[in-house]
Structure 1
Amino acid sequence: MNTLIITGAANGIGRATLIKAIEDGYFVIAADKDADGLSALQKEYGAEVLETHVVDFADNTVIKGFIPALYERHSTIYGLVNNAGIYHGKSVYAYSDAQVDEILNVNLKALVYLSKDFAEREMQHEAPRSIVNIASVAGEVGSCDALYGATKAAVIGLTKANAWNFAPFVRVNAVSPALIHDTAIYDTIPTYRRDEYARQEILKDPILPSAVAEVILLLVGDAMRHITGRVIPVDNGAYPR
């Protein structure tokens, strides 16, 4: 049974990815600051397939210590899904200094440390491993939330760079969702921006977290073993690029 780390696993895309991963036969290490959400998942799925960690990736100590601590319990881990993220949907002028630091830590700095700490350990095995980062269409075409858009653009750059850095054993790809329904972020996106996303879509079936999870697990797995350094849109055909 391969082991897969999923951050931001208690809700939305992360939760859907956790469920799909367990269905596909993975043992999941789930991390989130939502203790209640993780507890509910732990009760539902059990310790045989799920290990949960209540962590806040806004904390520098957590960012730098999370992966090393896991390897005190696990000799090898197959994959990492960097899903944890923050979106405020507000003007850059409305950000406090603390919120700037928080979003940079959660959306970008955590990915830097978790990815390099994972790859450094797994490259020693000289066997196929996989990292999937969650970017966003906002990182490609811009966002009304400048900090969110900037961090997601950086995630795309980090994905491409780390595909080189971690080759030939650790593949690194990104999924770039657009308007995803039934998530906390959806309710935070300003109405005019949601309408714009919807107008751009050429497929009209609303995208749910489970649909994004299917793409994530496809990228994680062996079927995509020849794919690295790529950004895969899940956007109903919006914003062709």
Structure 2
Amino acid sequence: MRELAGKVAVITGAAGGIGRALALCLAEEGMTLMLADVDPVGLAETASRVPRAETLTQVTDVSDEAAVQHLADRSFGELGAVHVLCNNAGVFQGGRIWTRKPEDFTWLLGVNLWGTLHGIRAFVPRMIEQDTEGHIVNTVSVAGLFTAPSSGAYSVSKHAAFAASQVLAQDLAAVGSKLRVTALCPGAVRTDINRSERVRPENLLVEERTEDEAASARVLDDAVERGLDPAEVARAAVEGIREERFLVLTHPGYARGLREQTEALLAGGLPSFPDRA
């Protein structure tokens, strides 16, 4: 899908970080936008920065199927079509997998996996019916390809999101659809993902933070501080759309890491998280 000007894009998780960068980048390409997030203040801030008048916003919890369906209904109803869908919303919590509470898995799977699945189910059938070129970008994270200690529920949710992206691409190809899929797998990026707790639903709050969770949070704080500019990730995503790339990585070390991981698994060993450089 090389021509973006005059087309429509829907972006979840648009209140900041990669979502905001995607909004700015796609607006510069001449696209009309529907922006969604659970954070109304951040969402309004993103909309105010978009250098185009034709931008709609909707407060949306992507873990809520009905909310995502409403987002799709409004997008198609008011904008007439959707050509690019960015399932970008995501949250993080670390800690060893045996210390995670059921509420932790419910929250992360709800946003990181079900948010993507709800987006696919609400938008893709109608995008297929349009019979036009289109693209779905799922912000998976490199944690969908590799695991690391104390990544707990996050890695589980992101590996599942990567599988959903791959199956979606294969299913679309099998039916001869004009739609393409990109699994966007960035490493550390300067976003607010280390402050995900601020948008955690009250019914899924856990009062006590475990020592391993706190240690993981400190590691993430440092990684985010040294991370990529979100604009770099957005540009890589747009390039992936234009080149119809399924997998988009942000660091050269991750490509080498995939080879090393395969070799380790074939040898019966335990892969390690790759160097980003």
TM-score range, shorter chain: 0.7 to 0.9
Q: SS at 1:149's partner residue?
A: helix
Structure 1 stretch 129-138 or stretch 51-60: which is displaced more?
51-60
Which AA in structure 1 matches 2:45? A
Q: Is the 8 A contact 2:10 2:84 kept in 1?
A: yes
* Aligned counterparts of 2:43 and 2:221: Cα–Cα separation in 1: 29
Q: Is the 8 A contact 2:141 2:185 kept in 1?
A: yes
The alignment covers a number of residue pairs equal to 228
Which AA in structure 2 matches 1:235? H
Query: What is the CA distance between 1:100 and its match in structure 2?
Result: 2.1
Unaligned ranges ≥5, structure 1: 199-204
Is residue 243 of structure 2 the alignment partner of residue 224 of structure 1? yes
Aligned residue in 1 for 2:265: none
Cα 1:99–1:118 change in 2 (3 A) is: same
Among 17, 22, 25, which residue is 1:17 paired with? Answer: 22
Aligned residue in 2 for 1:210: 231
Aligned residue in 2 for 1:179: 188
Query: What is the CA distance between 1:41 and its match in structure 2?
Result: 2.5
* Aligned counterparts of 1:191 and 1:57: Cα–Cα separation in 2: 27
Q: Deviations over 1:133-171 (max 9, x none)?
A: 111121211142221101111111111111122232110
Q: SS at 1:217's partner residue?
A: helix
Identity %: 25
* Aligned counterparts of 2:145 and 2:43: Cα–Cα separation in 1: 31
Which AA in structure 2 matches 1:165? D
Matches within 5 A, 1:1-241: 1-45=6-50, 48-143=53-148, 144-167=150-173, 168-180=177-189, 182-186=190-194, 190-192=217-219, 206-220=227-241, 223-225=242-244, 227=245, 230-238=246-254, 240-241=257-258
Structure 1 stretch 1-10 or stretch 57-66: which is displaced more?
57-66
Give the TM-score normalised by structure 1: 0.84
What is the RMSD of the two structures over their aligned residues, measured on CA atoms? Answer: 2.5
Give the TM-score normalised by structure 2: 0.74
Cα 1:7–1:43 change in 2 (3 A) is: same
Cα 1:36–1:217 change in 2 (3 A) is: same
Q: Is the 8 A contact 1:60 1:105 kept in 2?
A: no
Cα 1:206–1:87 change in 2 (3 A) is: closer
Q: Deviations over 1:193-222 (max 9, x none)?
A: 677x79xxxxxx9521111000111223xx
